[in-house]
Amino acid sequence: MSKTPNPNSTGPSGNADAGKSAGEEATVKVPSKDSKKRDDKKYEHLSEEDLALKQQLELYVERIQDADPGLQKVALEGMRQEIRTATISMTVPKPLKFLRPHYGTLKGFYEKMPDSDLKTLLADILSVLALTMSAEGERESLKYRVLGSQGDIGSWGYEYVRNLAGEIGQEYAWLESEQERPLYDLMKPVQQIVSFNLKHNAEPDAVDLLIEVEDLDLLLEHVDSSNCKRTCSYLTSFAKYLPWPDDILVLDYAYTIYMKFEEYPLALVTALALDNMEFTKKVFTSCDDNLQKRQLCYILARHGQTFDLDEKLCASDEDREALQEIVNNVKLSEGYLALARDIEVMEPKIPDDIYKRHLLDGRASGEQSVDSARQNLAATFVNAFVNAGFGQDKLMTAPSEATSGGSSTSWLFKNKEHGKASAAASLGMILLWDVDSGLAQLDKYLHSTDTHVIAGALLGVGIVNCGIKNDLEPALALLSDYVRKDDPSIRIGAIMGLGLSYAGARNEEISSILIHILEDNKVSLDVIAFTAISLGLVYVGSCHHEIAQEIIYALTDRSEAELGEPLARLLPLALGLLYLGKQIIIYINMA
Radius of gyration of the chain (CA): 39
Cβ neighbourhood burial of 309 (10 Å; 0-12, 13-18, 19+): buried
What pLDDT, on the 0 to 100 scale, is given for residue 56? Answer: 82
DSSP 349: -
pLDDT of 473-522, one tens digit each? 889 988 988 988 888 999 999 999 999 999 988 889 999 999 988 888 88
pLDDT at 570 over 60: yes
What pLDDT, on the 0 to 100 scale, is given for residue 39? Answer: 52
- In this structure, are residues 495 and 530 in contact, taking their beta carbons and an 8 Å threshold? yes
pLDDT of 255-309, one tens digit each? 999 999 999 999 999 999 888 889 999 998 898 888 999 999 999 998 888 888 8
- Top-confidence residue, 182 or 550: 550
* pLDDT band at residue 129 using 50, 70 and 90 as cut-offs: confident
- What is the C-alpha to C-alpha distance for residues 437 and 391, in angstroms, rounded to an integer? 9
- What is the C-alpha to C-alpha distance for residues 431 and 441, in angstroms, rounded to an integer? 9
- In this structure, are residues 100 and 61 in contact, taking their beta carbons and an 8 Å threshold? no
Query: What's the mean per-residue pLDDT of the chain?
Result: 81
pLDDT at 220 over 60: yes
DSSP 67: S
- Top-confidence residue, 546 or 149: 546
* pLDDT band at residue 22 using 50, 70 and 90 as cut-offs: very low
pLDDT at 400 over 70: no
- What is the C-alpha to C-alpha distance for residues 505 and 292, in angstroms, rounded to an integer? 24
Average pLDDT over residues 390-419: 70
Q: Mind spelling out the 3-state secondary structure of 506-564?
A: CCHHHHHHHHHHHHCCCCCHHHHHHHHHHHHHHCCCCCCHHHHHHHHHHHHCCCHHHHC
- Helix, strand, coil tally for the chain in percent (to 5): 65, 0, 35
Average pLDDT over residues 140-159: 80
pLDDT at 46 over 80: no
- What is the C-alpha to C-alpha distance for residues 46 and 218, in angstroms, rounded to an integer? 47
Q: Mind spelling out the 3-state secondary structure of 210-274?
A: HHHCCCCHHHHHHCCCCCHHHHHHHHHHHHCCCCCCHHHHHHHHHHHHHHHCCCHHHHHHHHHHH
How many Cβ atoms sit within 10 Å of the Cβ of residue 14? Answer: 12
* pLDDT band at residue 184 using 50, 70 and 90 as cut-offs: low
- What is the C-alpha to C-alpha distance for residues 11 and 414, in angstroms, rounded to an integer? 123
pLDDT at 33 over 60: no
- What is the C-alpha to C-alpha distance for residues 106 and 125, in angstroms, rounded to an integer? 9
- What is the C-alpha to C-alpha distance for residues 494 and 511, in angstroms, rounded to an integer? 14
Give the CA angle between residues 540, 543, 548 to the nearest 5°: 95
Burial 405-440 (b: 16+ CB within 10 A, else e): eeebbbbbebbeeebbbbbbbbbbbbbbbbbeebbe
- What is the C-alpha to C-alpha distance for residues 456 and 453, in angstroms, rounded to an integer? 5
Tally: H helices and E strands in the chain: 31, 0
How many Cβ atoms sit within 10 Å of the Cβ of residue 482? Answer: 22
